[in-house]
């Protein structure tokens, strides 16, 4: 970032200074300022700067075109100023929440759990290996080593509500330390002592919600629960807490908000959590655990086959986040999870398929991709296997799901249980050891199930394998036999439009680089050659590639489509991904984008044009996927 400090400072100075900026965002090539007064900006000076390609004033935005370095310049500006990235407050307040109820729920859960997941897994691994060492009598339970390992492994889980309090507060837009203070109250050290004190009376006697009352608050009965390691109570509490805090922000004078808003929020929210939210959330958690166990009791094998077989599908669509809280809740309420643990064999089925492909394929590139993917899968990281090896070849992904279903059915049929959420892959075996009794039978069951899943994936792939590496509709076949050196194939299908006719001066002027535009007739962007994804904007409307021969390519779907904020776009690759010619990079809906009033004309630009003497564009009026589009000399 150091080399962009001067440029960032000069840009801010010449847009009228920091105080003239309402908000700042960026797309794949441009800084997008919203200014209080655009007349204070110095367009001529900005366009003359090294590092600035041009300036565009459009749609209430003051756009400074940077090119590939836009993200670095953007982050440098945020570091050097008090300007807040993202939308201004008015835009945030007016923006509707998009997506279905399921989409919003998945986004909620993943946003809260993602920041803590690595530590959650790490401490779970420590707990699992500690249980294994104790069960094998490698060390005594009363030894200092065992006690220290227990402290390391247990502390995070015991105080889990505090960590969830931080991430949930961020998600709900609440002051982070206020959220943590609420969570800390739930695990206050004297609560167990109060719960073991003399009972005052009993509420809901004779029902499933029967609760002893040990204390009152302002004459109201407080139903105390154990919230250590709990999940649902703090998330639900902070959901309402964010709304309470925003109410006080509106009511309290600005000069008093710094201390009075958290004071009032804590005084209202913590008693409300103990009196109502916590008990209700705990009962809900108990009911969810009972329901999951009920499904398991109805048919353990079917439950195991269902969860195991579809787990990788859940991962692809992010639906596994809806099951993670159930697993954590079961461990917290029941002491174990008998249902969601059925996913464990999936990674072994995946590496069995990958190993078979390594043994059978004649494609060196595929083998070189599959070998490291297979190794990472051994340790439970299956994304390289899924996205790089099996999913693009559909039948092999289906085989991995079959192997995972077989393994999941075995786990459930033999009564295996997850006693903690710990390591993945081969490091996940200790998850099946009973922490309380040290029983190792669950671990042996997991080894059996994972071995069968691995063998199923391996043998089915070996028997069914054929040298059809690119049958999936997601990959377009490309033949370079008749193409000249430096050729680039069409990444879209549609009508050819000369670059100078693109209704955007930045692209039409050629300042971003030479190339051509395509008016798409199908909502798909493919890789024009083998290369690496260097940039993929979160909204999915544009992608930058560095091809294996050094050409840098920008494909920008539509004009000003960044304003759709990802609506009608789906990016299928991530930054840093290695892609092969014909692989689908982006899916989009041209018709719906046009209905929103946006043009779908798509520039395909060689951004390092200066390194080539000529850029020759096809003379055809229309191209299909993988037709010759242009050549560089």
Annotated catalytic sites, by residue? 27
Q: Which residue in the block uniquely carries the two structure tokens 């048919």?
A: 299
Cα separations in angstroms, 131 against 35, 138, 230, 438: 60, 10, 21, 6
Nearest CA to 67 out of 538, 534, 573 is that of 534
Q: From CA 252, how far away is CA 262, in angstroms rounded? A: 11
Q: From CA 452, how far away is CA 510, in angstroms rounded? A: 58
Nearest CA to 336 out of 237, 210, 476, 437 is that of 437
202 backbone dihedrals φ, ψ, rounded to 5°: -120, 135
Q: From CA 631, how far away is CA 633, in angstroms rounded? A: 7
Residues 6+ apart with CB under 8 A from 387: 577
Helices (H), 570-625: 590-595
β-strands 584-588, 524-526 pairing:
antiparallel
| Torsion from C-alpha of 433, 438, 441, 447, nearest 10 degrees | 40
Q: Residue 600: left if φ>0, alpha if ψ -120 to 50, beta else—which one?
A: alpha
Q: From CA 18, how far away is CA 77, in angstroms rounded? A: 10
β-strands 61-65, 622-623 pairing:
unpaired
DSSP letters along 140-180, please? -TTSHHHHHHHHHHHHHHHTHHHHHHHHHHHHHT--HHHHH
Q: From CA 263, how far away is CA 125, in angstroms rounded? A: 39
Strand 584-588's sheet: what is its strand order? 524-526, 584-588, 569-571
What is the maximum alpha-carbon separation in the chain?
90
Written as six digits, the tokens of 543 are 């992608």
Q: From CA 59, how far away is CA 33, in angstroms rounded? A: 11
| 8 Å CB contact between 581 and 105 | no
Helix then strand then coil, in percent of the chain rounded to 5, is 55, 15, 30
């Amino acid at each position: 970032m150091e080399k962009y400090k001067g440029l960032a400072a000069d840009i801010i100075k010449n847009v009228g200074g920091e105080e003239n900026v309402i908000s700042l965002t960026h797309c794949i090539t441009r800084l997008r300022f919203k200014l209080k007064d655009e007349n204070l900006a110095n367009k001529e000076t900005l366009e003359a700067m090294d590092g600035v390609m041009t300036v565009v004033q459009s749609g209430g935005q003051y756009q400074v075109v940077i090119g590939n370095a836009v993200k670095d310049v953007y982050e440098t500006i945020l570091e050097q100023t008090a300007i807040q990235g993202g939308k201004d407050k008015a835009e945030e307040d007016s923006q509707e929440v998009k997506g279905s109820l399921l989409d919003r729920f998945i986004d909620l859960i993943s946003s809260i759990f993602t920041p803590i997941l690595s530590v959650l897994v790490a401490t779970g691994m420590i707990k699992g290996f500690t249980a294994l060492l104790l069960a094998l009598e490698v060390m005594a339970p009363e030894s200092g080593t065992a006690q220290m390992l227990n402290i390391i492994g247990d502390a995070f889980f015991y105080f889990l509500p505090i960590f969830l309090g931080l991430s949930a507060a961020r998600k709900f837009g609440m002051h982070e330390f206020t959220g943590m203070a609420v969570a800390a109250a739930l695990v206050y050290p004297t609560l167990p002592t109060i719960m073991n004190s003399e009972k005052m009376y009993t509420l809901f006697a004779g029902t499933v919600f029967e609760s002893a009352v040990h204390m009152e608050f302002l004459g109201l009965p407080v139903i105390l629960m154990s919230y250590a390691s709990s999940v649902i109570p703090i998330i639900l509490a902070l959901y309402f807490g964010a709304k309470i805090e925003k109410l006080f922000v509106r009511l309290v004078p600005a000069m008093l908000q710094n201390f009075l808003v958290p004071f009032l929020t804590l005084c209202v929210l913590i008693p409300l959590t103990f009196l109502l939210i916590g008990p209700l959330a705990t009962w809900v958690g108990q009911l969810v655990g009972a329901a999951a166990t009920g499904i398991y009791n109805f048919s353990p094998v079917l439950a195991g086959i269902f969860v195991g077989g579809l787990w990788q599908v859940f991962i692809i669509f992010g639906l596994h986040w809806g099951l993670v809280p159930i697993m954590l809740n079961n461990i917290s309420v029941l002491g174990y999870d008998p249902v969601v643990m059925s996913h464990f064999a999936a990674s072994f089925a995946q590496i069995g398929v990958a190993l078979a492909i390594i043994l059978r394929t004649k494609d060196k590139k595929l083998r070189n991709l599959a070998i490291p993917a297979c190794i990472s899968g051994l340790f439970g990281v299956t994304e390289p296997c899924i996205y790089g090896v099996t999913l693009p070849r559909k039948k092999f992904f289906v085989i991995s799901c079959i192997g995972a279903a077989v393994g999941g059915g075995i786990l459930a049929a033999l009564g295996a249980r997850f006693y903690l959420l710990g390591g993945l892959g081969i490091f996940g075996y200790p998850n099946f050891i009973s922490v309380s009794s040290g029983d190792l039978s669950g671990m042996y069951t997991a080894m059996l199930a994972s071995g069968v899943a691995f063998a199923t994936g391996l043998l089915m792939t070996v028997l069914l394998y054929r040298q059809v590496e690119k049958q999936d509709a997601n990959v377009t076949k490309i033949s370079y036999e008749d193409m000249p050196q430096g050729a680039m194939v069409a990444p879209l299908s549609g009508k050819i439009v000369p670059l100078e006719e693109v209704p955007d001066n930045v692209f039409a002027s050629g300042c971003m680089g030479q190339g051509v535009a395509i008016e798409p007739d199908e909502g798909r962007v493919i890789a024009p050659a083998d290369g690496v994804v260097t940039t993929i904007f979160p909204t999915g409307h544009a992608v930058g590639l560095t091809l294996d021969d050094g050409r840098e390519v920008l494909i920008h779907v539509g004009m000003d489509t960044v304003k759709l904020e990802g609506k009608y776009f789906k990016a299928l690759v991530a930054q840093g991904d290695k892609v092969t010619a014909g692989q689908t990079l982006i899916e989009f809906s041209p018709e719906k984008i046009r209905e929103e009033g946006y043009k779908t004309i798509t520039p395909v630009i060689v951004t390092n044009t200066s390194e080539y003497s000529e850029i020759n564009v096809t003379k055809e009026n229309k191209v299909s996927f993988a037709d010759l589009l242009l050549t560089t000399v």
